[in-house]
């Protein structure tokens, strides 16, 4: 092996070690911020779920709007805190993934579209008549590493798992 290859392998190994701590933590902090903020807005705001009840997909549309509002509010608040702490991370990620999919179907997806090209116009942050599902898609992509690989080493889940393994 030449010197460049050895240096690259050492650098990669170092980044891998740091990445198990920092990369999932970065995702967790961003997701906490977004979902906690959304939960606070619901907690301090007026329930508007009754106006979208018909757009909420089954089986969530059979739940009364007031109860759905309460569930969504507390799922966002408690799920966000759990994600930040890295506690019950996979369960919290799955819960918020389901919430995000329901919200996308009920609020962010375009009412109608006639072509794939027109549907893609909804891949935007602002709604200009085509939906605005870009941010929920980004959130779903951010949740995937947490769901599939876990919260990383800077988490309570990691500490608990290590403690249980040593007992």
* pTM of this structure: 0.91
The mean pLDDT value for 8-35 works out to 93
CA distances, 127 to each of 5, 39, 49, 71 (Å): 49, 21, 18, 26
The pLDDT assigned to 126 comes to: 84
State the pLDDT confidence band at 129, using cuts at 50, 70 and 90: confident
Residues 6 or more apart whose Cβ sits within 8 Å of residue 128: 121
Average pLDDT over residues 41-59: 92
Residue 96 and residue 76 in contact, taking contact as beta carbons nearer than 8 Å: yes
Give the mean pLDDT of 64-83: 97
Q: 154 falls in which pLDDT band (50, 70, 90)?
A: very high
pLDDT of residue 32: 98
Question: pLDDT at residue 125 above 90?
Answer: no
């Amino acid at each position: 092996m030449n010197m460049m290859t050895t240096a690259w392998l050492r650098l990669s190994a170092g980044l891998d070690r740091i990445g198990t701590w920092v990369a999932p933590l970065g995702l967790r902090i961003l997701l906490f911020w977004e979902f906690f903020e959304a939960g606070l807005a619901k907690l301090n705001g007026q329930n508007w779920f009754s106006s979208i009840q018909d757009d909420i997909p089954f089986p969530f549309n059979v739940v009364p709007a007031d109860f759905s509002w309460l569930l969504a509010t507390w799922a966002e608040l408690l799920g966000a805190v759990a994600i930040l702490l890295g506690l019950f991370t996979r369960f919290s990620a799955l819960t918020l993934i389901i919430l995000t999919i329901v919200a996308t179907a009920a609020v962010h997806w375009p009412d109608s579209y006639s072509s794939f090209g027109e549907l893609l116009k909804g891949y935007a942050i602002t709604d200009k008549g085509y939906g605005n599902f870009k941010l929920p898609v980004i959130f779903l992509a951010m949740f995937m590493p947490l769901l599939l690989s876990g919260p990383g080493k800077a988490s309570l889940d990691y500490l608990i798992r290590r403690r249980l393994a040593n007992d």
